[in-house]
Amino acid sequence: MFRILVADDEGIMLEAIKNIIQSSFGSDCEIVCVKTGRAVIEQAGSFRPDIAFVDIQMPGLSGIQAIKEVRKFNPSIVFIIMTAFDKFSYAQEAVNLGVMEFIMKPVNKKKILDTCVKAMHQVEEARQKLSDDLKIREKLEIVIPMIESGFIYNVLQEDSDVLKNGYVEMLDIQKPYGFMMALEFGDSIESGTMTNAIGVGVRVSKYYAMIREIVKDYFDCVIGPVMGNRLVLFLSFEEEKMRYEERVEIITRTRNMIHKLENSADIKCRGGIGSVKPLSGIRDSYKEALKSLRENDSHVVHITDIPAVADYDGEYPLELEHMYLQRGAKGDREGALSCANEFFDWMLVHNNNHRSNIEVKILELIMRLEKMAFEGGNLRYGFRYRENYLSELREASDTENLRLWFQAKTREICDSISTSREREYENLVSRVKAYINENYAKNISLDDVSRMVDISPYYFSKLFKQEVGENFIEYVTGVRMKHARHLLEDPKYSIKEVCVMSGYGDPNYFSRIFKKYEGMTPSEYRER
């Protein structure tokens, strides 16, 4: 079936062309006739013809003007122009608009039919190409996830080279850098751990196609397969380093994506984001994404927002070891000691007859934790600081005394990290509080202050409340109210001047906030 539009201001011409086409093609064609350029545009939208015979000279809009408008929203129509001998000045413009052919008036039956057949062939070729493209796209919808999964698996392998296995070319990754994102799913987050990982992993597999679609709506990325209760993403990047604004924008987009995932699949989700790396070293970004994922119970954490945490691969229970290092690196003494005891119990079961293995392992873990603390600026280090470690281990009378040594060193390191980190956070928050006290009369935003300390707004907001006991806005308002009270005690300033000097542009809003905090309006406060 072909839909054909015929446009000419002469009724006789319309009837003639319509009868010629119907007599030859019958029910294979559906024909609509119009007499104006405006009607051509309207029918192009509603009737959506495959072929259109259009006269150049019509009332109102010319045929050329009508074709030009139609091309803006429907480029696939095959146009045939009907014209008289004196209208060749339109020829060049018509060629530019992709008109298939000209028919000179007066028209004859053979020319109409030959042109119709030619146009029908062109329409059929376009339909076949569309059908072939759709088949290819359907196949790609199956193949591309497989290639993307292969790329992600390749990234996760320790000794693989992503540049040598053809995935970069197959996925048309042209940018020289990239970063990794890890998404983790669960029923809830408890003590920094996702609950019901296995059950939720089954649900994530069930909704995998929908999750892929949502993720692709937010990021142009490579998506890996479901691995337990996790998904790993790769995002290409043009520059060697990500600017602050770009980092915050990606974190914001990730938070929005996670919110949609949680609502769509009825599961909890959080994300960890690694830093930008060259493609040859992209696995390091994946390690960073995992480290970010383990940071407390935040929805989204970027590796730049947290202190670096070393990683370890070995033949031991990695998750337990990761947890020990993670909690120790954050100065969580009780959490690290709990992991240390559990790990020690595991070693007793598997290495009870090989005390030396236990000695080496606990020494390795303590030195690893010390190194992390040192690199994070939380621990002083000297070459002779460890000179007694080996002798202390050898002098331990039994495995329980080895456990006590392990616990004591873990406790010592955690206390040092906790003290140092508290001091670091206190210094950072002190800088921000000093800035607020000096600039309370200006327009101070969380974004501005976060940029100043180079921490994303989401993470800084949580840190600020944790250290100060109230959120950023509450603190700024409190400072402004304190200064407003002081200014109101000086009669030389009007209420409006106090409003502006306290950082508010709207006197009515200032009055409402002041009354909320002080229980009275600024005027009442001044009178008292």
Under DSSP, is residue 281 helix (H, G, I), strand (E, B) or coil? helix
Which has more confidence, 360 or 353? 360
Helix axes 446-453, 457-468, angle to 10 degrees: 90
pLDDT at 289: 92
pLDDT per residue as tens digits for the range 127-141? 888 888 877 766 666
Q: Is 289 in the same domain as 326? A: no
Residue 60 per-residue DSSP state: S
Is residue 136 a part of any domain in this protein? no
Is residue 211 a part of any domain in this protein? yes
Q: Is 315 in the same domain as 299? A: no
Is residue 493 a part of any domain in this protein? yes
Q: Of all residues in the chain, what percent carry a pLDDT higher than 90? A: 39
Number of domains in the chain: 4
pLDDT at 413: 84
Q: What is the mean pLDDT of residues 451-460?
A: 84
pLDDT at 404: 93
What does the alpha-carbon distance between residue 320 and residue 311 come to, in Å, rounded to a whole number? 12
Do the strands 230-237 and 222-223 form a parallel or antiparallel pair, or are they unpaired? antiparallel
Q: How confident is the model at residue 452 (pLDDT cuts 50, 70, 90)?
A: confident
Domain CATH number, residue 111: 3.40.50.2300
pLDDT per residue as tens digits for the range 201-239? 888 888 998 999 999 999 999 999 998 889 999 999 999
**Does residue 309 carry a pLDDT above 60?**
no
Q: How confident is the model at residue 479 (pLDDT cuts 50, 70, 90)?
A: very high
Is residue 153 a part of any domain in this protein? no
pLDDT at 58: 87
Q: Which among 347, 296, 367 has a CA at the least distance from the CA of 326?
A: 296
Q: Is 329 in the same domain as 300? A: no
Please check whether residue 273 is in contact with residue 301, taking contact to mean a CB–CB distance below 8 angstroms: yes
Is 374 buried (19+), middle (13-18) or exposed (0-12) by CB count in 10 A?
middle
Q: Picking from 46-60, 73-87, 250-264, 502-516, which range would have the lowest pLDDT averaged per residue? A: 73-87
Range of the domain at 510: 440-527
Which has more confidence, 466 or 422? 466
Which pTM does this prediction carry? Answer: 0.50
> For residue 74, what is the enclosing H or E element?
none
Residue matched to tokens 């609950």: 195
Under DSSP, is residue 314 helix (H, G, I), strand (E, B) or coil? coil
**Does residue 159 carry a pLDDT above 60?**
yes
pLDDT at 90: 63
Residue matched to tokens 């969580």: 332
Q: Which among 122, 147, 227, 235 has a CA at the least distance from the CA of 183?
A: 227
Q: Is 330 in the same domain as 290? A: no
pLDDT at 397: 85
What does the alpha-carbon distance between residue 414 and residue 421 come to, in Å, rounded to a whole number? 10
**Does residue 316 carry a pLDDT above 60?**
no
Q: Please, what is the average pLDDT of the chain?
A: 85
Task: Say which residues have a Cβ less than 8 Å from residue 199's Cβ, sequence separation at least 6.
Answer: 187
* Residue at which a domain ends, from 418, 453, 481: 418
| Rounded alpha-carbon distances, angstroms, from residue 65 to 13, 47, 74 | 21, 19, 14
Q: What is the mean pLDDT of residues 416-442?
A: 80
Which has more confidence, 86 or 284? 284
Q: What is the mean pLDDT of residues 167-181?
A: 90
pLDDT at 422: 65
**Does residue 307 carry a pLDDT above 90?**
no
The residues with which 81 forms a beta bridge, in sequence order, are 54, 102
Please check whether residue 209 is in contact with residue 225, taking contact to mean a CB–CB distance below 8 angstroms: no
Q: Is 446 in the same domain as 375? A: no
Domain CATH number, residue 492: 1.10.10.60
Residue 4 per-residue DSSP state: E
pLDDT per residue as tens digits for the range 343-357? 898 888 876 667 888
Q: Which among 435, 331, 446 has a CA at the least distance from the CA of 377?
A: 331
What does the alpha-carbon distance between residue 270 and residue 290 come to, in Å, rounded to a whole number? 11
Is residue 121 a part of any domain in this protein? yes
Please check whether residue 483 is in contact with residue 499, taking contact to mean a CB–CB distance below 8 angstroms: no
Q: Is 190 in the same domain as 266? A: yes
pLDDT at 423: 67
Residue matched to tokens 């072939």: 132
Is residue 6 a part of any domain in this protein? yes
User: Using CA of residue 289, residue 206, residue 202, residue 159, what is the dihedral sign?
Assistant: negative
pLDDT at 509: 92
What does the alpha-carbon distance between residue 528 and residue 525 come to, in Å, rounded to a whole number? 5
Which has more confidence, 96 or 38? 38
Q: What is the mean pLDDT of residues 358-362?
A: 88
